[in-house]
Structure 1
Amino acid sequence: MLENIPTSAAPALNRTSVALIRASLLKFAGLLVSVFLLAACLLFYVAHDLDTVEEHEGIFYINKAIKSVEKHVTTTVKDYASWGEAYKHLHQMVDVDWAFAQANIGSGVYKNFGYQGVFVVDGADRTVYSVIRGELKSVDIAQWLGRPIDALLNEARAAAGKEAAVSTIVNFGGIPAVVAASALTPGNDLTVEAVDGPVSVLVFVEPLDSARLQAIGTDYGIKALRIVTHDKVSSTTVQLGEDGSAGHLLWELEKPGKKLLGFMLPLIGVAASVVWLMTWVLLRRTTFAAKTLEDNYASLQTSQIALIKSEQRFRDVAEASSDWIWEIDAQGQLSYLSERFEEITGLSRNAWIGADLDNLLRFDSGKLSQWLKMPKRHPNTSVQCSYIDSQGQARIARLHAREMVDEGFRGTACDITDEVEARRRIDYLSQHDALTGLPNRTRLQAFLDGKLRAVSTREAPLVMLCLDLDRFKPVNDLLGHAAGDHVLNTVSKRLGDCVRTGDLVARIGGDEFVLIITDMSSQDEIDALCQRLIHSIEEPIALGAQEVFVSASIGIAMAPNDACEAAQLMRYADIALYEAKAGGRHTWRFYAGDMNAKIIERRRLESDLRYAIKHGELRLHFQPRVRIVDGRLVGAEALVRWQHPVHGLVSPDTFIPIAEESGLIVSLSDWVLTAACESANHWPNNMFVSINLSSTEFRRGNLVARVQKALCETGFDPTRLELELTENIMLVDATGALEIMRALKGLGVRLAMDDFGTGYSSLSYLRSFPFDGLKIDRSFVNRLGENEKDKSVIQAIVGLGRALSLTVTAEGIETAEQLELLKAVLCDEGQGYFLSRPLDSEAFDLWVRDKKIEQTGPPIPSH
């Protein structure tokens, strides 16, 4: 428009423009002053707010720190109070020797936790046990604290049923102290029975002196945390106890707002000075420029118009903000490309100038030129396009565009190929297992939901196979997790090779896989698939110079035959898998309705077994062991039986696995140890009792201490106790097993390897571990007499035992011929139905009296 102004009117127009510019500059300067004043006010407000927030955070972290101390003390006192031994030695009776001399609840509480006061208050609120700063004292807790704590004791007794602890903070000699109390209970110790009457209460006291507060402050980033006197209490102090009765805490408060003011106010002042200086300079330059423009106005018209267009162009580009800049004319042909175009794409700018934009960038929903001309398209929207770089690789770009005044479009393009690939990778990892690359539980759920919505029929059901590897845990334990990962990857590939393209193989954790199979209706097809899967998995897996063998168990559920919901289908497949494992592993089972009933019955038996151990429903039977050479009775093996009030006599094969899985095996074994030793106390002194130990119990419980406790409680001679162990005990942790066995030998008991000959490494164990005897598995004895080969095997085992100075016992003697053959190979001892069936305790005592231990012939068979 400026080119249309007459040249003669230019000076007057210029002077008017100068006056308008000067007025605008003054107004702009006034506006900046207002902005600086407003900024200063906001700065003061922010500084005050920062100081307030800092104060509130300090109070919050102090309260949190004190609560943490209270929680630690209450947790510690609850753990001690719910200890069955503490209940027996500090409530049922006050055993100072156990508590203080044996350091169970004595000076160690002060040394380890810093609790200056440890008290036991009986049901009559009398202090019956007290330890002050690690020393045994006779002092009343209320007298020591300087205040009664009846309310706290009552609250602790009220929480006895929940095995919970309570606490409070009191003023203790001018400093706050945390007082925590918990009622003494038997806890989970089934061997300790509760007594009636008010319970005793265990109390721990931890004073919060200056050193303790300093340590707490260091842990929570609170400077100079300390106790203040009453005359220095203010709004910034923290109250302890009810209404500050236990004292007040003060700390060194940071002042970030003050620091902010000291830094920002000078900057605002300098900025205001600079603005005023710039305004003054601009006013002078404007006056000078006006005089210059009067002389050269005509020659500058063209340059000024070009400058306006340039500023407009780069203003649009700045708003679009991208990597490389492009511009097209009204026909959609490229008229401008920035230098960054060549750096990003590797393509030549000159080669593409004049070409159609649609040939460079491709848009999935049509032509890019059509998207640019869409009506009511928001100027700030972007679109994702693709292009081919100089290397022939497909790349992805995000395009921004604005319409120009003189038609055409300009904008920016940003290469986002790496970003898109990263997003795709994240999406993939969120639905796939990182180790095997198989779909994970999330992908399985989505796939299963989609298939179930397709409404499967009974003629074309959806089949779910839940597959779990057998013998995989020893691979991890013995060869390491790297070997286990290799096995899992190999199995994953083999599973994928066994299914079709439309099926799904997923890993849902550990060594568990799920397969979703479609278009497989007959049971014969499913059986064939399971057989193929197990056969493929059982193929050897190479690990360096050695081979590893694993197998699998499979549980099968089908929709809609068994269930129509994903969670229920998975649950039924898991139940079928459990049945497959119980059926001997490396097999498969289809879900059936009675399987769920079996699991419910198994859980009921577990509950009944827990009751049976505690209420005397267990019985011991004893099977005699005789010396084969002369028939003398040398001892007996203790066998546990369960007299169920409804099901009658329950076999150990039924309830022992339940006890091992539920963790009841320790309590069950303790009962057997005690009962067997008590019964054997009535036998002749030269007879021993033999007890089987479970491999699960061997790893879980404190076996040495438990055996020692049973021997002490019954007064039984440890040399008359024999513990039978199987190879499974030594397979997982041979070093740990050897340490436990040496400790048992230190007690004086005998150790025997049970079921010898059924494992692959028995000989090495016999040479390395401190066994006193071995028991030949009944499977070898049952075949005696069939051929000379079986006799040679027995003779070799007996020779091995003699070479290692071990007593050899044969199990399962059922015929006179077997007994004679064992005598011929000089086997030491034997047991079995030919000699005697297992007898209950009374019948066995009678049997011992009838068959005197000095007899010279074999005992009369008792059938």
Structure 2
Amino acid sequence: MPNNLAPIVSTLANRSSLSLARASLFKFVGLLAAVFLLASGSLIYLAHDLDRTEEVESAFYTKKAVQSLEKSLRSTVKDYAFWGDAYKHLHTDIDVDWAYTRQNVGSTLYTDFGFQGVFVVDDANRTVYSVIKGELKPVDAAEWLEQSSLAGILDKARAGAETETPTTTFINVKGIPTLIAAAAITPGTDPSVVPDEKPPSVLIFVDMLNSTKLALIGDDFGVDRLHAATPDEMGTTSFLALGDDGTAGRLHWSSSQPGLRLLGVGLPLIGIAALLVCLMTWFILRRATAAAQALDASYTSQQRSQDALATSEARFRDVVEASSDWVWEIDADWRLTFLSERFEVVTGLSRDAWTGAVIDDLLHLESGTLSQWLSIPKRRPDISVQCRYIDSKGQERITRLSAREMARDGFRGTATDVTEEVEARRRIEFLSQHDALTGLPNRTRLQEFLDGKLKALPTAEQPLIMLSLDLDRFKPVNDLLGHAAGDLVLNQVSNRLADCVRDGDLVARVGGDEFVLILTDVSTQDEVEALCRRLIESIERPIEIGEQEVFVSASIGIAMAPTDAFEAAELLRYADIALYEAKAGGRNTWRFYAGDMNARIIERRRLESDLRYAIKHGELRLHFQPRYRIADGQMVGAEALVRWQHPVRGLIPPDTFIPIAEESGLILALSNWVINTACNCAAQWPNSLFVSINLSPIEFRQGNLIERIQQTLYDSGIDPARVELEITESVMLEDAAGALEVMRTLKRLGVRISMDDFGTGYSSLSYLREFPFDGLKIDRSFLSRLVESEDDKAIVQAIVGLGRALSLTVTAEGIETAEHLRLLKAVSCDEGQGYYLSRPLEIEAFNALVEHAGAKSIV
């Protein structure tokens, strides 16, 4: 080659190399741009998915809140509608006195439940009874509800009469979403009521969902700012339509946007990285242009351009590795040809070990293989798939894989670890059917399990057994040791219950300390009783909390399908009725459901209603049983004893209605009447006589006992020293510290305090030493055997000696014979009362005794 051609050839060669370098640079920039676009797309997709997930969860809990509200309202209207007394007083006849005056279906529905409207519609669809915001008003239901007709609602309610099924629907009243519940009024299971031939009347409850109530519901279910949607909010996505196509309104809430926050952080970082790449590309192109101008002059300049290109490639790799996802590439044989360094950080696996391996060996789908998914014809490149793999610690992880086909054979893409996100979704699904504290199935899961088992049609030979279990003595654990200790007890009990049943059975927690067990492989009553015995023995074992041992027990109610019922709701109700019988039978036992139990429940409910009426309308009577000083026979006072003069049943003793008053919350009103009446009567007696009044343990936990006693003393004008309050040991057992503080305050008022039924409790001696008692009463059980039992004589003598040592007045109850009185005199007992001395007397008879006998005993 001639020498003058050599420079030309060299220049052409250099320029050809430069062109190739520029082409490589543009390909590299294109690849980098694709990576940025892929990263941005992945980030936007992830942000959208996070926002969508948050929106779905908020909608889920809002729907659950509405369903819970509907269920609660259906249950409430069912309790009132399927009731024999309601049938007699609101269908057969309209008894406003029974319904409104006696508060059976009156203002308490507004004060206690917040029902703005209560209506009764008769068989001719006329409104015959209405209570608006707790006030009795003659208002037509359709007119007040702004509905042209209620026929559809009434028809649905009457259609559910036979199955005792109420109906609910949402409407719009005065621009406020409103939930109404309607149920046909039927006799229920009351055998004393015979239904007539007319179509049943319908009871309607109206619950208007104003902004305050919606906010409270939202707080209970973790939904932020739940409210009725305004016209400006109708186009948003965070809403739940009420009624048909939203005719009753829409509920709107505010969902957090974690995806938006993620974009606010991620996109600027990607933009900065892209800007840096652009600057880097501009810089490389500028250097490449300068190199092209100097190619003819120096080979060294060409070498510098190549070095710059290598530096650019290094920067590209740095940008790729800075991503939170790891990047992969595979060839036509599905073998991994590239794994970014981020792969090792995320998975803990070695890149070198997996480079060259088949991608199906690393990542696995739920069905099929990853290579089959990548081979789907016309697969959309923006669709991702979830894969599973085993990390370096042997734990299964979940990654979301996105892939694009390369120009040459093979695929490349990114992988994002979504294990925590998937686990969070699973946790939400689990909590929707399980109790968060114990992990046991909740009411939702119980209902599904029970429905499935009942569809299998259990037989008398292979019945389905339901146990309704409630813990005894659990409330003192919460009150004295705190809710954390109570939670530990519930977890221990849950584990013990689960250990006592078979794998195919179900243990569910349905309330605070309420559990339901479903047994599927128990065929005889003996097996059921053996299991109940084992359950109670297991629960009774001590539970260690810190350095203390806690003891609880349980009562169990049992119902069986198909013997007792074949519907889930009835089976649950019958098991609860049997549980109530077990508790009434002394607790720590079990009862099988029997038909007469329901009648007793109805009878107790009727007694509770009658007692509420009796307290307000003067059916209570107060009797006084004189108390005498045994040494000289002088009357020193009297014990006030309440009786109930029922207009139909006659005189009812306190041991029948006092437990009902304590369970129903009427005890405070009853006690107020007794305290006021007794003090007002005693204020008219001679100053030498005192009055003794029994207090319920419930009054020490609630009811402002001190303020009530202080007000009564002021109103009656009686000397506080002439008032004696009798309490039992259970007051100290439940809350010793609180009871001591109340008793000290009562003593500062000047009243006397006496311990009733002494000798039947657990720690009477310590109580007498620590608490400010003025006296104690020997339980009548010791006197009943006083003549025959030397042990009882010794006990009575010891109690009298103890009282004298502690400067306490000792009173003996139940003096029935002259021999009782003689023996009590022999041991120097202070005071006594009983039928031998005097029966309880009505107020007039007692006043006459005081007036004519000069306060002297007749014995």
Deviations 1:395-432 (A, max 9, x none): 33322222233332222223333443444444444544
Residue of structure 1 in register with 2:725 after alignment:
723
- 1:386–1:790 Cα change, 3 Å: same
2:361 is equivalent to residue 356 of structure 1: no
* Residues 638 and 692 in structure 2, CA contact (< 8 A), matched pair in contact too: yes
Name the structure 1 match of 2:552.
Answer: 550
Deviations 1:829-853 (A, max 9, x none): 1112222222222333344456553
Whether the 8 Å CA contact 1:738–1:769 is kept in 2: the answer is yes
Displacement of 1:527 after TM fit? 1.4
- What is residue 524 of structure 2 aligned with on the other side? 522
- CA–CA distance in 1 between the matches of 2:628 and 2:699? 28
After superposition, residues 392-541 of structure 1 pair within 5 angstroms as 392-541=394-543
SS of corresponding position for 1:326:
strand
Q: 1:466-519 deviations in whole A, cap 9, x for unaligned? A: 211111222233334443333323222221211111112222332222222212
Q: 1:342 & 1:290 partners in 2: Cα distance?
A: 39
Q: Which residue number corresponds to residue 336 of structure 1?
A: 338
Distance change (3 Å), C-alpha of 1:388 and 1:765:
closer
Select which of 573, 576, 579 maps to 1:577: 579
Report the Cα offset of residue 752 of structure 1: 1.2
Change (3 A) 1:377 1:692: same
Aligned-residue offset at 1:606: 2.4
CA deviation after TM superposition for structure 1 residue 291, in Å:
8.8
Aligned equivalent of 2:267: none
Q: 1:733 maps to what in 2?
A: 735
Q: What is the DSSP-based 3-state SS (H/G/I as helix, E as strand, rest coil) of the residue aligned with 1:436?
A: coil
User: Aligned in 2, Cα 1:722/1:440: closer, same or farther, shift over 3 Å?
Assistant: same
Per-residue CA deviations over 1:168-212 (Å, capped at 9, x if unaligned) read xxxxxxxxxxxxxxxxxxxxxxxxxxxxxxxxxxxxxxxxxxxxx
Alignment correspondent of 1:111:
none
**C-alpha distance in structure 2 between counterparts of 1:544 and 1:802, whole Å:** 41
**1:763 to 1:339, Cα distance in 2 relative to 1, 3 A:** same
- CA shift, 1:630, in A, is 2.9
1:374 maps to a residue whose letter is I
Cα pair distance change 1:419/1:293, threshold 3 Å: farther
Instruction: Give ranges in structure 1 of 5+ residues lacking alignment.
Output: 1-6, 15-20, 22-157, 164-273
CA-based RMSD of the aligned residues comes to 4.3
Contact 2:324 2:342 in 1 (8 A): no
Residue type at the aligned position of 2:387: C
Q: Which residue of 2 is the match for residue 630 of structure 1?
A: 632
| Rounded Cα–Cα distance in structure 2 between residues aligned with 1:351 and 1:679 | 98
Alpha-carbon distance in structure 2 between the residues aligned to 1:604 and 1:767: 44
Counterpart position of 2:828:
826
**What's the offset of the Cα at 1:615?**
1.6
Tell me by how many angstroms 1:725 deviates: 1.4
Query: Which among 620, 644, 647 is matched to residue 646 of structure 2?
Result: 644
**Is 1:675–2:694 an aligned residue pair?**
no
Q: What's the secondary structure of 2:688's corresponding residue?
A: coil
Deviates most, 631-640 or 730-739: 730-739
Distance in 2 (CA, whole Å) between partners of 1:285 and 1:487 is 76
The separation in 1 between residues aligned to 2:467 and 2:387, in whole angstroms, is: 43
Q: Is the 8 A contact 1:660 1:697 kept in 2?
A: no
TM-score (norm 1): 0.61
Cα offset for 1:293?
A: 13
User: Retained in 2: the 8 A contact 1:322–1:413?
Assistant: no
Given that residues 633 and 856 in structure 2 are in contact (C-alpha distance below 8 angstroms), is that contact kept between their aligned partners in structure 1?
no
Which residue is 2:745 aligned to? 743
Residue number in structure 2 paired with 1:71:
none
Q: Which residue of 1 aligns with 2:658?
A: 656
Indicate yes or no: 2:705 matched with 1:703.
Answer: yes
Q: Distance in 1 between matches of 2:364 and 2:628?
A: 93
**1:166-177 equivalences in 2 (<5 Å):** none
The percentage of aligned residue pairs carrying the same residue is: 72
Contact 1:322-1:412 at 8 Å conserved across structures: no
Name which of 796, 807, 810 aligns with 2:809. Answer: 807
Q: CA deviation at 1:607?
A: 2.6
Inter-partner Cα distance in structure 2 for 1:585 and 1:543: 24
Q: Distance in 1 between matches of 2:548 and 2:783?
A: 34
Is the 8 Å Cα contact of residues 849 and 855 (structure 2) preserved in structure 1?
no
Distance 1:666 1:356, change over 3 A: closer
Give the conservation status (yes or no) of the 8 Å contact 2:442–2:509: yes
What SS is found at the alignment partner of 1:468? strand
Segment drifting more, 505-514 vs 556-565: 556-565
Of residues 554-563 and 583-592 in structure 1, the stretch that sits farther from structure 2 once superposed is 554-563
CA distance in 2: counterparts of 1:676 and 1:747, whole angstroms: 17
The code of the aligned residue for 1:599 comes to I
Residues 685/325 of structure 1: CA separation in 2 closer, same or farther (3 Å cut): closer
CA distance in 1, matches of 2:544, 2:288: 91
CA drift of 1:292 comes to: 6.3
Is 2:600 aligned against 1:598?
A: yes
Classify 1:682/1:344 alpha carbon distance in 2 versus 1 (closer, same or farther; 3 Å): closer
Change (3 A) 1:446 1:829: same
1:681-712 deviation per Cα after TM superposition (whole angstroms, max 9, x unaligned): 45443222211111112332233332333334
Instruction: Indicate how the Cα distance of structure 1 residues 392 and 702 shifts in structure 2: closer, same or farther if over 3 A, else same.
Output: closer
For 1:162 and 1:395, the matched residues in 2 are separated by 65
- Return the offset for 1:581: 1.1
Query: 1:354/1:547 Cα in 2 relative to 1: closer, same or farther (>3 Å)?
Result: closer
Displacement, 1:775? 0.4
Q: Give how far 1:811 is off.
A: 0.8
Could you say what secondary structure the match of 1:469 adopts?
strand
2:758 counterpart residue number: 756
Q: Which residue in 2 is equivalent to 1:219?
A: none
Where 1:509 maps in the other structure, the secondary structure is coil
Q: Offset of 1:793 from its aligned partner? A: 0.7
SS at match of 2:510: strand
Structure 2 gap ranges (5+): 1-11, 20-25, 27-131, 138-274
CA distance in 2, matches of 1:676, 1:405: 101
* Partner AA of 2:833 in structure 1: Q
Whether the 8 Å CA contact 2:662–2:698 is kept in 1: the answer is: yes
Confirm or deny: 8 A CA contact 2:327 2:343 kept in the other structure.
Answer: yes
Give the deviation of 1:436 after TM superposition.
3.0
CA contact (8 A) 1:396 1:417 kept: yes
- Answer whether contact 1:400 1:413 (CA < 8 A) is retained: yes
Cross-structure match for 1:97 = none
| 1:814 match: secondary structure | coil
Specify the SS of the correspondent of 2:692: strand
Partner of 1:569, secondary structure, is helix
User: Please, which of 375, 378, 381 is the counterpart of residue 379 of structure 1?
Assistant: 381
Q: Deviations over 1:608-666 (max 9, x none)?
A: 22221222111111222222223332222111111111221122112212222333222
Letter in 2 for 1:813: I
Please say if residues 388 and 394 of structure 1, whose CA atoms lie closer than 8 Å, have aligned partners that are also in contact: yes
Equivalent residue letter for 1:600: I
